[in-house]
Structure 1
Amino acid sequence: MFKEFTKLRTFDVKFISTNYAKRNSEAAGITKKSDYYKNLGDAEENIDGKPREWNDALPYESIPGPKPLPLIGNIFRFLPFIGEYYNLPIREMYESFKTKYGNVVSLTGVGRPPIIFLFDVQDMEKHLRGAGAFPIRRGLGSLTHYRTVTRRDVFKDVPGLMSVQGIEWFKIRSVVNPVLMQPKAAQQYIGSMDKVANELIENIRFFSKQNENSEMPEDFQNELYKWALESIGVIALNKHLGCLDLNASKDSEPQKLISSVNEMFLLMYKLDILPSIWKYIETPSWKRFVKVLDFITETLSKHIDEVFTKTISDDVPEDQLNILQKLTKQDRHIAFVMVMDMLTAGIDTTGKTMAAALYFLAKNPDKQQCLREEVYNNLPEKNSSVTKEILNNSPYLKAVIKETTRIAPIAVGNVRTTIKDSVLGGYKIPKGTELISMHIVTANSKHFKDHEKFMPERWLRTEDSDYSYKNVHPFAYQPFGFGPRSCIGKRFANLELEIGISKIIRNFELSWAHDDMVFSGNFLYGVERPLKIRVKEL
């Protein structure tokens, strides 16, 4: 597969990037022809030149932000007891950056190169549209080092989409996009996901009978992680991992895998976000990270190898193959790495989003009833199966998911590195600067009327009031990123959520009898307290 890419001339790169952008315009969030050509023009601009407004812009060094102290920089601000940002909910911290320093904020002196935060939607659009045909999104150093150095014997020259840039990134993405980013490719797994959702329904029914208030247990979030892993398992491998088996022990392989993934994200935060010297010395956190990643890699490799050993006849229809088999027909090693990433990344992300959606529906019974009316029309019986036609006729369900990811996005911002000198917010931004577009702030701000309210109606095409998303700048809300490097798994994540939420709302009425939920997170944003939702059988 890679041989055809080994000698790419300038013309070849331009031709590939142009056609790649055309084929993936929907994935890039581009719906109008004019938007496509604008984006392509930005991508092909001479990246070595200076923008016209460069000479009139303020110096990069003058970008405001928390002032570092000699020797210790800004590290003290994140330390226990004395740090103003220690234990401050992450959204509040970024909102305080914007309030105190403005739309462009620089954070220096935290043991890594400066980070520039963007809070203005115009700057976000300019930056993201100018990211080029091969946008640079630096992977986390810890994961990249593990795959390219520590376990290079396993991952070889394909460490994954998060760890490569430029042509190397394009090689992988061009193989996986037709399999993972096309709507039809995801829809063929609806039946399998429906069966997994039925298992979750039965478990919820069981838990409701264990409590006099029909309340979910304190670790119900973990049950949603199990559902997410089981769902992605049947998609990627056509294999039930047994995650939702109520008789399984607490140290079962699926549970250990879930716990390891949770710990992996925590360790990434310690190694890559907080100040750390792991790159120079093998710290306890780094050693633990390698041990956790080794378990995840070995466990998932075993399941992937089991699929590899099965012979697939050439005449088997495409719609009967799992993701691993489809990708293997293109490149075996890319298939291995991508399925490993799907199984790893699909647990916390989808599980946390499901938890947030159920909480918002429980807290807003009127919105829950609106959704239930739609679900009742589509699923006349409790055990009715979800189909492609049903999901295509579920606008309010899709609106619920969009509103959930507006208020509580898994990723708080989108990271890109500038490929050319730019001017943003009136400041010079040199080529090679890492910027984060802080969508969690813009999506929870004045851009959306009554932004603090859970209002799925704002996402309906039929909505014409001041609440409608049509009145909002499109870059105020980007839960899956933008452009060619938008989330590769968004089709499957949305499909899992649509099916799971439909089945739950068809079977149960949800309510909430506790203080308002706290949302935060060091690495992934989500609920921080026990998800003790009350359910009533319908």
Structure 2
Amino acid sequence: MQVLRNRIICTSFSVGNISIRRCVSGLACPMIEQRQNIKPFDEIPGPSSVPFLGPIHNFLPGGRLAGYKGVKLSERLYKLYGPIVRLDGILGGYDTVFLFDPDAVEHVLRSEDPTPVRPSLETMEYYRKRYNKTYDPKRIVGLNDHGDSWREFRTKVNPIMMHPKTIKVYANALEEVSNDMVDRLRTIREDDHKITKKLNVEMNLWALESIGVVALGTRLNCFDTNLPTDSPVKKLIQNVHDIFNIADKLDFNPSFWRLISTPNFHKAMKIYEEHEKLTKYFIDQAIKKNRGIKKGFSRHFKF
């Protein structure tokens, strides 16, 4: 598996009609001194590619992957190339290896070292480390950090956040959020009990509300249908929606942003800047609310 070292590895599996993809690691396998019988990376089956442009021609009209995205793309790659597929980087993007074989997935997961590299959103990382003039390299942000900084972050957070006693603190509040979400779904479903609205949008509201409970110790009221359009919560809801949309265009589809500043790239930087301002606002509000409260989890979370 040394051939996969320093590559982005994606696992893909299905549950019913749902296909799940996970970016596992770029440093998934330990160094192997014995190199015999190790095939080169280029021999992994996958769509043909050309220098710099990668396999982009396969996605153009008439190509073998034209019109395929997301789950359908994973299914197509598996059908054409088998349980392990190489997808060279497009327009400066990462080379990616897709694993569809459960045994291979298990091997990768069990072989990860303590400091994995798990890229998330390249555009967000660019904003944090290059576009944002206030960037502090010593500040750890779990979403985009890898290697030693990721390990340091998890070492400090896990003993607190993963402790059963800590989880119990949030149980009642999260149950309240979940019940409110169920009530909301009941109100938006049709007479035949089907939901025609975009369920992912509704689930984003539930996720935001749950994050507010855990991270800020308060309800954001994302389910409120009467939120003013200029309210911070309404702006945050829209901002998260914008992040998903722009990330799909720049991080998960071919784009020239790594080479030139495209209009969508400038849009992404503004969206991330707005997100930083909004999250800072809510954090400041939480600090003011909890200032002066005696130490103790239960005293910090009053619902």
User: TM-score normalised by the shorter chain: which range applies?
Assistant: 0.7 to 0.9
Asked if structure 1 preserves the Cα contact closer than 8 Å seen for 2:52 and 2:90, the reply is: no
Which residue of 141, 145, 153 maps to 2:122? 141
In 2, Cα distance between equivalents of 1:236 and 1:116: 34
Distance 1:215 1:248, change over 3 A: farther
Q: Does structure 1 residue 267 correspond to structure 2 residue 246?
A: yes
How far 1:312 moved relative to its partner?
Answer: 3.8
Name the counterpart of 2:265.
286
Name the counterpart of 1:360.
none
- Per-residue CA deviations over 1:34-87 (Å, capped at 9, x if unaligned) read xxxxxxxxx9x9x55423xx31233322222111257744112223x4444343
Name the counterpart of 2:23.
none
In 2, Cα distance between equivalents of 1:203 and 1:113: 40
In 2, Cα distance between equivalents of 1:69 and 1:212: 53
In 1, Cα distance between equivalents of 2:144 and 2:244: 16
Give the TM-score taking structure 2 as reference length: 0.77
Name the counterpart of 1:5.
none
Structure 1 stretches (4+) deviating beyond 6 angstroms?
none
Distance 1:222 1:90, change over 3 A: closer
What is the aligned residue count?
272
- Superposition pairs of residues 131-530 of structure 1, within 5 angstroms: 131-153=112-134, 157-207=138-188, 213=192, 216=195, 218-219=197-198, 221-249=200-228, 252-309=231-288, 310-313=290-293, 315-321=294-300
Question: Which structure has the larger Rg over C-alpha atoms?
Answer: 1
Q: Which residue identity is paired with 1:92? A: K
Distance 1:127 1:205, change over 3 A: closer
Distance 1:103 1:264, change over 3 A: same
Name the counterpart of 2:33.
50
In 1, Cα distance between equivalents of 2:297 and 2:228: 37
Higher relative contact order (CA 8 A, sep 6+): 1
In 1, Cα distance between equivalents of 2:135 and 2:54: 38
In 2, Cα distance between equivalents of 1:236 and 1:157: 21
Asked if structure 2 preserves the Cα contact closer than 8 Å seen for 1:106 and 1:116, the reply is: yes
Asked if structure 2 preserves the Cα contact closer than 8 Å seen for 1:271 and 1:285, the reply is: yes
Distance 1:293 1:195, change over 3 A: same
Distance 1:91 1:202, change over 3 A: closer
Asked if structure 2 preserves the Cα contact closer than 8 Å seen for 1:97 and 1:105, the reply is: yes
Is the partner of 2:46 in helix, strand or coil?
A: coil
Distance 1:99 1:171, change over 3 A: same
Name the counterpart of 2:21.
none
Stretches of structure 2 lacking an aligned partner (at least 5 in a row)? 1-27
Give the TM-score taking structure 1 as reference length: 0.46
- Per-residue CA deviations over 1:383-412 (Å, capped at 9, x if unaligned) read xxxxxxxxxxxxxxxxxxxxxxxxxxxxxx
In 2, Cα distance between equivalents of 1:206 and 1:232: 23
Stretches of structure 1 lacking an aligned partner (at least 5 in a row)? 1-42, 323-538
Distance 1:74 1:234, change over 3 A: same
Asked if structure 2 preserves the Cα contact closer than 8 Å seen for 1:75 and 1:109, the reply is: no
RMSD (CA atoms): 2.9
Q: Does structure 1 residue 87 correspond to structure 2 residue 70?
A: no
How far 1:89 moved relative to its partner?
Answer: 4.9
In 1, Cα distance between equivalents of 2:43 and 2:199: 47
